[in-house]
Structure 1
Amino acid sequence: MTESLDGQPIERDFSARSMEEQEDFLSQTWCNHCLEMDLGMVNPKEYETKERIWIEGECVKCGKVTVTEIVEEEE
């Protein structure tokens, strides 16, 4: 993974993921404001630090920021 010198998150290219992955990440969400799952998100931006990778977007229902953490499985 890449990390900036000051430890700030680095934006990744969410569109580089396969369409199937993008659709899964955008539909399988949890909104802390609505307290509901799988409402979906729009306007996704993917970020990474040394410790984690996540996608931030806006909840389809309420429009507030929602975050989905990505756990990449090792094969």
Structure 2
Amino acid sequence: MTFIKIQNVVINISYVAVVRLDNQTVSGEKSVSVPLPTPQFLSFQWDTIAQNLYDYKWIEFTGQAAITLQDY
């Protein structure tokens, strides 16, 4: 496993399969986006092993964080 730290976010790059480069925020600022897995546990799933325990949320980085991620 390899981790990278960008500002106050630590990313396990083993879970990163896609990176969106050259995005723009609503305000027009350039950004880089990464989908990160977030657990989606229902109360009855704690004792069950399921294939799709993660939901992916796009996390958007701007400014120096976007440059750092893009350079990586």
Determine which structure has the larger helix proportion and give its number.
2
Give 1 or 2 for the bigger CA radius of gyration.
Answer: 2
Check whether TM > 0.5. Answer: no
Determine which structure has the larger strand proportion and give its number.
2
